[in-house]
């Protein structure tokens, strides 16, 4: 191990990353802001998110209501802050579902190969034959529109990504000498997967999880926006945008602030994922220029 000084950063590195990509700390800061808002929403919010202030309907942003109020007189800043909790919930639970489905199936397919692998890989092809959010739509159609069902649908929809990465990496890891050695000395399958295969996969999976969290927040917002996701009065950002849509000409702040919040969360996760990828695989940073 050696110490490398990069700007203000001191890194302990082997022959790996020698710098932290700016996207890592910019994305991290944006993500941190969202997590902070979610954790301390009750302390930060000037009002309870569902409190109706009858004499302050549709008031423009002011000192009393920095993000204005909606058509019922609810404080938008409070609603957007509490919305951060829902967004993080979508990201965490949604990613947990898709990783929980994709990783075990990917390990199974990649480690065992053969007919099991063939069947699982074909099943994932069918999964992926539903373009865009179509699979989520079919699932929501079956389960009925609600925030929980949207999260389930998005979690199921995103599973093939985790499956593919896990399967591919498991297949190549299985051929490595250290795995063959572990097999030769009689290590159990469970131990080989847990000690030799999963650690090698961790960085790719963390990057994918970060990216998927970003798309899930966007997708859930989209479904809520058209009425197929979170239902009122939940302060989900997409639902907030949808209710602000009818007041575009008189109260544009209703649509602007939730949109900024979604973009911040999604961009933060994207940048953070980009930065993580560069950090884990520094070879990708050094691209030749013209």
Partner 1 sequence: MARHLPRRLAGTLITLIVVGFVTFIALDATPGDAASALVGESASHAQLQILRAQMGLDQPLVARYATFLANLVSRGDLGQSLVNQRAVNQLLLERLPTTLILAFSATALALAIGLTLGMIAAARAGSLLDTALMSGAAVSLAVPTFWSALVLMLIFSVNLRWLPVVGASGAQHFILPTLTLALPTSAIIARLVRASVLDVFGADYVRTARAKGVAPRPVLTRHILRNSLIPVITMLGLHLGHLLGGAFIVETIFGLPGLGRLIVQAIFDRDYPIVLGATLLIATMYLAINLLVDVAHGWLDPQVAEGAV
Residue 50 phi, psi (nearest 5): -105, 5
Is residue 289 a contact residue for partner 1 (CB under 8 A)? yes
Residue 237: CB minimum distance to partner 1, A: 9
User: Measured between alpha carbons, how far is 268 from 218 in angstroms, rounded to an integer?
Assistant: 12
CA distance 212 to 99: 10
Give the CA count within 13 Å in the CB-facing half-sphere of 170.
26
The answer to whether 29 contacts partner 1 (rule: CB under 8 A) is no
* Region of 80-88, 176-184, 186-194, 244-252 interacting with partner 1 (CB under 8 A): 244-252
Based on the shown chain and the rule CB under 8 A, indicate whether residue 287 belongs to the binding site for partner 1.
yes
Beta strands in the chain (DSSP E): 2-6, 9-13
The residue among 247 and 280 lying less far from partner 1, judged by its C-beta, is: 247
Angle in degrees, 0-180, between the axes of helices 76-112 and 114-128, rounded to the nearest 10: 150
| Contact stretch for partner 1 (CB under 8 A) within 59-67, 132-140, 161-169, 194-202 | 132-140
> Min. distance of Cβ 196 from partner 1 in angstroms?
29
State the Cα angle at 39 between 38 and 41, rounded to 5°. Answer: 65
Q: Which candidate, 143, 146, 165, 258, places its Cα nearest to that of 211? A: 165
Query: Per the omega criterion (within 30 degrees of 0), is the bond before 184 cis?
Result: no
Q: Per CB under 8 A, does 245 bind partner 1? A: yes
**Phi (first) and psi of residue 67, to 5 degrees:** -105, 10
Does 246 bind partner 1 (CB under 8 A)? Our answer is no
Residue 68 touches partner 1, criterion: CB under 8 A: no
* Residues 191-230 contacting partner 1, CB under 8 A: 214, 218, 221-222, 225-228
Check residue 270 for interaction with partner 1 (CB under 8 A).
yes
Is 129 a binding residue for partner 1 by CB under 8 A? The answer is yes
Q: Which residues from 134-153 bind partner 1, rule CB under 8 A? A: 134, 137-142, 145
What is the closest distance, in whole angstroms, from the C-beta atom of residue 37 to partner 1 in the complex? Answer: 17
Smallest distance from partner 1 to CB 89, Å: 18
Position 131 contacts partner 1 (CB under 8 A):
yes
Contact 229, 220 (CB under 8 A): yes
Pick from 72, 189, 171: which is nearest to 117 by CA?
Answer: 171
Q: Is 119 in the site for partner 1 (CB under 8 A)?
A: no
Nearer to partner 1, 142 or 175 (CB): 142
Rounded to whole angstroms, the Cα distance separating 152 from 40 reads 26
Residue ranges in contact with partner 1 by CB under 8 A: 23, 125-126, 129-134, 137-142, 145, 214, 218, 221-222, 225-228, 238, 241-242, 244-245, 248-249, 252, 255-256, 258-259, 262-263, 266-268, 270-271, 274, 287-290
């Amino acid at each position: 191990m050696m110490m490398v000084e990069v700007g203000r950063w001191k890194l302990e590195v082997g022959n790996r990353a020698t710098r932290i990509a700016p996207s890592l700390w910019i994305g991290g800061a944006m993500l941190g802001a969202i997590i902070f808002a979610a954790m301390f929403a009750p302390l930060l919010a000037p009002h309870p998110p569902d409190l109706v202030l009858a004499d302050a309907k549709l008031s423009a942003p002011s000192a009393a209501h920095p993000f204005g109020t909606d058509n019922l007189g609810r404080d938008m800043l409070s609603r957007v802050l509490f919305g951060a909790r829902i967004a993080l919930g979508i990201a965490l639970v949604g990613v947990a579902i898709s990783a929980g489905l994709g990783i075990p199936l990917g390990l199974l397919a990649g480690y065992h190969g053969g007919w099991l692998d063939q069947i699982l890989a074909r099943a994932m092809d069918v999964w992926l034959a539903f373009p865009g959010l179509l699979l989520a739509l079919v699932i929501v159609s079956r389960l009925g529109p609600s925030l929980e069902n949207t999260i389930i649908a998005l979690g199921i929809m995103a599973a093939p990504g985790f499956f593919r990465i896990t399967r591919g990496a498991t297949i190549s890891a299985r051929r490595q000498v250290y795995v063959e050695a572990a097999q030769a000395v009689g290590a159990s399958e469970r131990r080989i997967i847990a000690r030799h295969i999963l650690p090698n996969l961790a960085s790719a999976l963390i990057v994918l999880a970060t990216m998927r969290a970003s798309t899930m927040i966007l997708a859930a917002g989209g479904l809520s926006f058209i009425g197929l996701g979170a239902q009122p009065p939940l302060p989900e950002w997409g639902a907030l945008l949808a209710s602000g849509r009818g007041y575009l000409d008189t109260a544009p702040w209703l649509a602007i602030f939730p949109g900024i919040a979604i973009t911040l969360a999604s961009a933060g996760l994207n940048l953070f994922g980009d930065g993580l990828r560069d950090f884990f695989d520094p070879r990708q940073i050094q691209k030749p220029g013209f």
